[in-house]
Structures are given as C-alpha cells and as structure tokens.
Structure 1
C-alpha cells in the first residue's frame, strides 16, 4: 500500500510531455548566480529583445549550488 501511495504522488509531480511538433523544438536556458546577477541578466536580455522578463520561471534556489536560478524555454522553428 505504501508503494501505491508513493508511486501515485511521484507520478502527479511529473509534468506531462508537450505534444510533438516537428516544426518546433524547445531549448531551455538557465541562469544561475546571485539573486541580483540573475535578475540583471533577465532584464538585460529583455531590453535586448531576446525574451520578455515574464517568460522566465520564478526565482528559486538551485539545489546543487544553493545559488539562485531561473529557466527560460525558447521555441525554435526548424
């Protein structure tokens, strides 16, 4: 019974895979550093027209380094 509870909770945390689209490919960009540096990079890339600041994930602590991080997914056309 414990295995069933564990497996159900683990499955609910895994995001569903996006539908396959042969014309588009996702690329993830991760920025890791101090909180100030990560926000500076996000806002600089926004000003340069790379990506709106709101498209980045919320700031969170990167588990391996204990530094701040944010992730952006850009979709490329093939």
Structure 2
C-alpha cells in the first residue's frame, strides 16, 4: 500500500477501498510502511548524493508529501 502511494500514483480511492475491506486499523500500518520507506529512501539519497554530488530529493519529497496527504485525508 505504501509503495502504491509513493511510486505508483495510487490515490485516496485505494486507501478508502483498503479501509473498507480491512477497517481503519490498517491506517497505522500504512503510516509505518511510509515511514520505513522514507528512512530507507533518505539513506539511499544520502549515499548517492555523497558519491555523485547530485540529488533527486525534491522529487522524492513530493512523492512522500503526496502519500502523507492521502493518508491524512487531505488529497
């Protein structure tokens, strides 16, 4: 679910469908998955930036911001 929100363009309709099927208790798990991906992406960007001197962090920040907006119902 987190990957679908971050990298595959899933929107609020997917979250609504998942909550409808599994209940609102799934939302903290999705948030946890997003946090895990954020930490691992941050580490990867840190290494790439150190090695190459460039970063795609702006794109990644926008992806995560969009996913969080979906999760908190602001999308």
Relative to the length of structure 1, the TM-score reads 0.28
Q: Which structure's residues are more often helix, by fraction?
A: 2
Q: Which structure's residues are more often strand, by fraction?
A: 1
Relative to the length of structure 2, the TM-score reads 0.29
